[in-house]
Amino acid sequence: MSEVLSDTHYRVLARKYRPTNFDELIGQEAMVRTLSNAIETGRLAHAFILTGVRGVGKTTTARIIAKALNCTGPDGQGGPTITPCGVCENCKAIAESRHVDVMEMDAASRTGVDDIREIIDGVRYASTNARYKIYIIDEVHMLSRNAFNALLKTLEEPPEHVKFIFATTEIRKVPVTVLSRCQRFDLRRVSIEELSRHFKTIADKEGCEIEDVALAMIARAAEGSVRDGLSLLDQAFAHGAGKVTEEQVRDMLGLADRAQILDLYQACMKGDVAAALTMLRHQYDHGADPVVIFQDMLELTHWLTRLKVVPDAGEEVVTSEAERKLGQDMAQALSIPVLTRAWQMLLKGLEEVRLAPAPLLAAEMVLVRLTHVANLPTPGDLVKQLKANPHSAEQTAAGSQGSGPPSATPSAQTAGFPAGTAPGSGPQAFRIIQGATGQSTLCAGDPLPQSADAPLPPPDSFEEVVRLFEERQEAQIAFHLKENTHLVSFDTGRIDIRLNNKAPRDLVSKVSEKLREFTGQRWIVSLSQQRGEDSLYQKELVEAQALKERLSQNPLVKTVLETFPGAQITDIRKKVELFTPDLMDGTADNDTEFMVDAEEFGLDANDF
């Protein structure tokens, strides 16, 4: 019976080792120093707001501040102090959450204005036993807008015997009118090293043996939260029954061995798909979550990139000397474009694994893509090769994929580019740009600047009429003229058109009035029963199809499409008023760009 009773009274580590004074609070030296100076000089704010991630110690800090302000010392004669005694009646009552003058409110469950009215009514009365009446409001960002408004006046000019302490994890949701009335303290995430030392001390007190690597794993999984780390440590103690090993913690957290992650990453970067899939399956069979594996690979990519840029960055992460040496060797062997490409593919792959009904299958497909692009040249290298010799670039890309002998490709000059205008040699250089949707765009030449404010002459064609309406921000009229109107005849001052059933009835009168307004001339716009020409939209479709067929025959375009099997022209955009076929015969005139669907090939516009 005594054993059962002791079990029911067990206190979890997060409560048992909750700090009771500022000396026990870890990782918040800046806040403690500020409060110490304020208490010593008597410059105490009437309201404090504490913000930080979950479990970093916001509510605990609020209670310690309450004790510091109300401590009377062992003899009952002391004043506010940064080191509360913990033995006076005020300190003991606050620690046990039973002090009548220190009131805690959870704003997550009491969000209304009526709850704030209770506080407003209570501040008028002096404290009963303590020096200050203190209101601690946790998760203050959950208060309603009316509740915040009701609190503002009292918060700005509270009685001298009242102090407010707010705590929140969402500081941006707190109105600025409240923030401006409070002294703000940002409780930072506790570092892995500090958490490891803290957990080691607790393990010694609990009489539990735990390996240093296991402590580092728990500290890393806590993500700067002391409470989360203590909960994991409590779980590890129960899992290990007095002796906790690295393997036990790895199984408990569902983590993959870091050495195995390094081996998996190396296999992917070497393009060894069979070895990569075997390693992934092995880790999965031993309890590793595919999502966690990809998170570790993302973290490894970031670490290798930092090692590449700042070699000393490897010492900031808790790793063994052997892992650090291997990481430095990998960072030297991999280029920034390759690491950037791997980061983008892993980031997208992580989302696929999270959403997939079968995470392991999705993870395997991502690794197949990652190993496939390992043998492909980076976009930067490919463009350099295309500049020098398109034929050589095609051979390199084809050889890396294990394909047959490449077809002969003419040089830049014989492909129709005049001397000095080969790709990359001047203003007509082809370049890859990144669109708003993330699609890579191979663009010929720099776009010619156009001024939207330049006055246009009276339109000489129906196309110029439509363009005039577009420039004058008459988008609706321009749309109907382009898609729902068929031109019968056009003369300066007179237009005969036929409308389909989708055009509005007042389109003719609107066009006539607007043309007179824009040009200062009288325009007659009349309806005709004749069939007329195709709409401008229909003409554009026909022209785009013809242009696509002609572009696909351009030698350089053919080189790009053959270099990336499966790539296709998806969009063609005109850059100037008139389109000329010069690009077809090699004398491109800054007028056309074409887009290739390059997502599956790891192309990144930042490399160019």
Instruction: Delimit the domains of the chain by residue range.
Output: 13-186, 192-253, 258-374, 462-536
**pLDDT one-digit tens code per residue, 253-293:** 766 567 788 889 999 998 899 999 999 998 888 878 899 89
For residue 569, list its beta bridge partners: 596
**pLDDT one-digit tens code per residue, 305-331:** 988 887 765 555 555 566 777 888 888
Check: CB of residue 589 under 8 Å from CB of residue 583.
Answer: yes
* Second-level CATH architecture of 192-253: Orthogonal Bundle (1.10)
Rounded Cα–Cα distance for residues 271 and 369 (Å): 10
Q: CATH assignment of 462-536, given 3.30.200, 3.30.230, 3.10.20, 3.30.300?
A: 3.30.300
pLDDT category of residue 390 using cuts at 50, 70 and 90: low
Neighbour-count burial for 85-106, b at 16+ CB within 10 Å, e otherwise:
beebebbebbbeeebebbbbbe
Rounded Cα–Cα distance for residues 550 and 239 (Å): 69
Rounded Cα–Cα distance for residues 486 and 182 (Å): 68
Rounded Cα–Cα distance for residues 511 and 478 (Å): 9
What per-residue confidence (pLDDT) applies to 420? 38
> Does pTM surpass 0.75?
no
What per-residue confidence (pLDDT) applies to 136? 92
Whole-number average pLDDT of the chain: 77
Torsion sign across C-alpha atoms 234, 239, 243, 246: negative
Q: Which residue has the higher pLDDT, 470 or 450?
A: 470
Residue linked to tokens 């407003």: 120
| CA nearest to 469, candidates 88, 418, 480 | 480
For residue 135, list its beta bridge partners: 103, 164
Check: CB of residue 266 under 8 Å from CB of residue 257.
Answer: no
Q: What is the DSSP letter of 20?
A: -
Q: CATH assignment of 258-374, given 1.20.272.10, 3.40.50.2000, 3.90.550.10, 3.90.1150.10?
A: 1.20.272.10
H/E stretch holding 443: strand 440-444
**pLDDT one-digit tens code per residue, 533-587:** 888 888 888 888 888 888 778 888 878 777 877 777 777 765 543 334 444 444 4
Rounded Cα–Cα distance for residues 247 and 266 (Å): 23
Looking at the chain, the whole-number percentage of residues with pLDDT higher than 70 is 78
What per-residue confidence (pLDDT) applies to 294? 92
Give Cα 440 to chain centroid, integer Å.
20
> Is it true that domain 13-186 has CATH number 3.40.630.30?
no
Residues 6+ apart with CB under 8 A from 463: 536
Give Cα 539 to chain centroid, integer Å.
42
pLDDT of residue 173 exceeding 50, the answer is: yes
Residue 538 three-state SS: helix
Pairing state between β 183-186 and 47-51 = parallel
What per-residue confidence (pLDDT) applies to 391? 54
**pLDDT one-digit tens code per residue, 12-60:** 888 888 888 888 888 888 888 888 888 888 888 889 999 988 888 888 8
DSSP alpha helix (H) spans, 241-378: 246-253, 258-270, 273-285, 290-309, 321-333, 336-355, 359-374
Q: CA 229, 230, 234, 237: dihedral to nearest 10 degrees?
A: 70
Q: What is the DSSP letter of 570?
A: E
For residue 495, the one-letter residue type is I
For residue 498, list its beta bridge partners: 486
**pLDDT one-digit tens code per residue, 409-438:** 333 333 333 333 333 333 333 343 333 333
